[in-house]
A and B are shown apart, each in its own frame.
Chain A
C-alpha cells in the first residue's frame, strides 16, 4: 500500500511547505489539512467506523463514546486504514512535516460526541506521545452545533491555559496534527445539537 492510494496527492508533493506551516503555527505547532484522504476512502472509513462497537467514556475531563483500538478491528477497511496510518511510509511523512524524529508507532480509536458531550482542557502529555492527530469525519456541523476543537494560549509564568485563541469547527475529512508539549492545551467544546461529531484520533509515539 502506498500513501498515494489514500492521501490527496497535493499533500504529498510539498512536505517542506507543510513543515514550515507546522512549525510556524500558533499557539503551538500544528497543521490543519482539509480533504486529506481521497474522497472515496474517507467515505469508506466513515461507513466502517460507524459499524465499530462503541463504549461510553465518562470522567471528570470528558464524556464521549469511543471504539476499541482500531488495530484490532475485523473490518477490512478499518484494517487497511490502520495499516496506512501505522506504516513506516506514513510515520516518516508525519515525522518530516512535524520535524519530530523518529515516530515509532501510533494508536488509534474512534470518538463520537453526542449532545452535551465534551472534552475539557488538557495538554495530552503522557510518556512517549509526540504528535497528536485527529481525522475528523463529521458532516454537516456549523458553529452553532458546537464540537469545535479549541486551542488555548498559556500563561508562561504559571504554565496554565488562559484563553481560547483558535477554534476549528469540525469538517469532514480534515486531519489535525499537533505537537504534544507543555503548551498544547486544547479541548473539544461541548456539542450543542443532536448531530454527532465523529472522528478518529490518537498519537504518534516516539
Chain B
C-alpha cells in the first residue's frame, strides 16, 4: 500500500471510488483516470521525461516515432508499473489477475504516426496509456484511436497525468493518428503498456 500511496493520487485509493471505477470498467471496457499520479511525482516524471534521450523508430509503412530510453523517474515509474503493488491495484479494477508484458515510452511530433499494418502484430489484452503532455489540440492529430472494422470505438486525446486503460478484444486495434504541421514544435510523450 505504501508504494501505491507514493505514486497514486490518494482519491484513487479510496475503496468507494475504486469500486465505482471497477463497475464503470466492467461496463465500458475502458476508463480514464485523470490526475492519476500525485502532483509531485508527476512533475518530476514530466521533467525527467523531457530530458530523456530519444531514438528514432522508422518503418514508414508501419510507424515513425521516437522511443525514449528510460532513466531517472521515467525508469522508476516503469518499475512501479511492473510492481506487484500496481498489479494488485489493476487486478482489482479489472476483476481478474493482470501482469505487465510490455512497456514503451513514445514521443510523437510533426510527421510521426503509427499505422494498422497487416504485418504488425497487435496482441489482445489490456492496454494502458499514460500521457505526460500538458497541452494538446485534437486538430494536430497525434491522438490514439481505437478502431474495429473501420469504426472508431474510442479516442484518447493526450492529457497530462491521465491514465487510460482499455481492453482490446476481437478485431479491435489502436493506432496513433499522424501529427500534422499545426502541432508545430509540440510533442506528445506517452507510455504504452500491455498487460496480460
Q: A60-B116, A61-B115 are in contact. Are A123 and B178 (CB under 8 A)?
A: no
Docked complex Cα distance between A160 and B139 (Å):
29
B182 smallest CB distance to A (angstroms): 6
A113 smallest CB distance to B (angstroms): 11
Binary contact track B157-196/A, C-beta < 8 Å → 1, others 0: 0000000000000000001011011100000000000000
Docked complex Cα distance between A131 and B165 (Å):
43
Binary contact track A145-157/B, C-beta < 8 Å → 1, others 0: 0100000100000
Query: Are A161 and B61 neighbours in the complex by a CB distance under 8 Å?
Result: yes
Give the contacting residue for A120; candidates B113, B139, B150, B182; CB below 8 A. B113
B21 smallest CB distance to A (angstroms): 30
B59 touches A (CB below 8 Å): yes
Q: A60-B177, A116-B181, A118-B180 are in contact. Are A185 and B116 (CB under 8 A)?
A: no
Binary contact track B92-122/A, C-beta < 8 Å → 1, others 0: 0000000000000000000101111000000
Residues of A within 8 A of B177 (CB): 60
Docked complex Cα distance between A162 and B150 (Å):
27
Q: How large is the interface on A (under 10, 10 to 19, 20 to 34, 35 or more residues)?
A: 20 to 34
Docked complex Cα distance between A181 and B177 (Å):
26
B60 touches A (CB below 8 Å): yes
Main secondary structure of the interface of B (DSSP, over half): loop
A61 smallest CB distance to B (angstroms): 6
Give the contacting residue for B61; candidates A63, A115, A123, A192; CB below 8 A. A123
A17 touches B (CB below 8 Å): no
B52 touches A (CB below 8 Å): no
Query: Are B181 and A185 neighbours in the complex by a CB distance under 8 Å?
Result: no
Docked complex Cα distance between A179 and B177 (Å):
28
Give the contacting residue for A60; candidates B59, B60, B145; CB below 8 A. B145
A111 smallest CB distance to B (angstroms): 16
Q: A116-B181, A118-B178 are in contact. Are A160 and B113 (CB under 8 A)?
A: no
A96 touches B (CB below 8 Å): no
B85 touches A (CB below 8 Å): no
A121 touches B (CB below 8 Å): yes
Docked complex Cα distance between A60 and B181 (Å):
17
Give the contacting residue for A190; candidates B59, B139, B175, B181; CB below 8 A. B181
Docked complex Cα distance between A115 and B180 (Å):
9
A59 touches B (CB below 8 Å): yes
Docked complex Cα distance between A107 and B147 (Å):
28
Given contact pairs A120-B61, A160-B60, A160-B61, a sample of 13 additional A-B residue pairs in the complex whose CB atoms are under 8 Å apart: A59-B150, A60-B116, A60-B145, A60-B147, A116-B139, A116-B180, A118-B180, A120-B113, A121-B61, A146-B181, A158-B59, A190-B111, A190-B180
CB<8 Å pairs between A and B, sample of 12:
A59-B150, A60-B177, A116-B180, A118-B178, A118-B180, A120-B115, A121-B60, A146-B181, A161-B60, A185-B61, A187-B60, A192-B181
